[in-house]
Amino acid sequence: MINVYTGEELSLIRESARLVAKTLIFIESQVKPGVSTLFLDKIAEDFIRSNNAIPAFLGYGGSRNPYPATLCVSINEEVVHGIPGGRYLKDGDIVGIDCGTILNGFYGDHAKTFLVGNVSESCKKLVEITRQSLDIGIEQAIEGNHVNDIGSAIQAFIESNGYSIVRDLVGHGVGRKLHEDPPVPNYGKKGTGAVLQAGMVLAIEPMVNMGSWRVKVLRDGWTIVTADKKNSAHFEHTVLVGKDKAEILSQA
Ligand code: MF3
Ligand code: CO
């Protein structure tokens, strides 16, 4: 079942999504060569808690192997879910930072890929095309469209630029929980999947690889890396489906 949000619930999702946007803007100001990923995680957690919210990813996944941090910090060939630790950002890296908040019981989910110092033209292009692909997907999040219209538009744009779309992980509904129906793949066939309705809230999150779309999971059980070790980029917004225009909720 896909939730349709209105009134007070929607205001609360808006607030949470705005807070996660503010958090990433703050984190962006601290992204530079020499900074440890654990430091970024610490200041993100403090920022979220000082705004009366809870880091949504911390402890996610239950008792077997709960996610241990506030941020996912994924460097270069890491696609998503990189665990912050003693690694330092270095000049030329690209770093995907994904963050989730719970504020008054409602979730916001947002990610961007940042450039660390001087980045090669080819990596800059990967990041810019991935960012644009998210905008192209968001344009499809309007009432009456099918959910796979989003992924179809993203995939066409990405592949026409010579990159590939990760298949193993997808976007999702978001609101009362971090992951709600429907799954929102970043690939697929136009005109298929659930019909969208105004008031649905989707986390759209293309993961784009420079080389093959194939990925694998590291031994930590979380970090997803490209199978060919080439770089990958990720952007994500929490988006409200509208009657004739989608609205990005994860903005400050
Ligand atoms: N944005 C990601 C997602 O929607 C981040 C999840 S990290 C996790 O899956 F730890 F919470 F899984
Ligand atoms: Co997400």
User: Domain spans of the chain?
Assistant: 7-248
The tens digit of pLDDT for each residue in 12-56 reads 999 999 999 999 999 999 999 999 999 999 999 999 999 999 999
Q: Tell me what the mean pLDDT of segment 67-81 comes to.
A: 99
pLDDT at residue number 105: 98
CATH number for the segment(s) 7-248: 3.90.230.10
Q: Over range 144-152, report the average pLDDT.
A: 98
Could you tell me the pLDDT band of residue 203, with boundaries at 50, 70 and 90?
Answer: very high
pLDDT of residue 53: 98
pLDDT at 217 over 90: yes
pLDDT at 238 over 90: yes
Closest CA to 82 of 64, 93, 66, 69: 69
* Average predicted confidence (pLDDT) for the chain: 98
Which residue among 20, 45, 67 has the greatest number of ligand 1 atoms within 8 angstroms of its CB, and so is best to mutate? 67
What share of the chain has pLDDT > 90, as a percent?
A: 99
Q: How far apart are CA 75 and CA 187, in angstroms?
A: 23
pLDDT at 138 over 90: yes
Task: Kindly give the distance from the C-alpha atom of residue 81 to the centroid of ligand 1, in angstroms, as a whole number.
Answer: 7
Beta pairing class for 54-55 and 94-103 = antiparallel
Confidence of residue 62 (pLDDT cuts 50, 70, 90): confident
CA 138–ligand 1 middle distance (angstroms): 19
Q: Which ligand is nearest to the CA of 169?
A: 1
Q: Starting at the earlier edge strand, list the strands of the sheet with 237-240.
A: 180-184, 171-173, 201-204, 237-240, 247-248
CA distance 175 to 13: 6
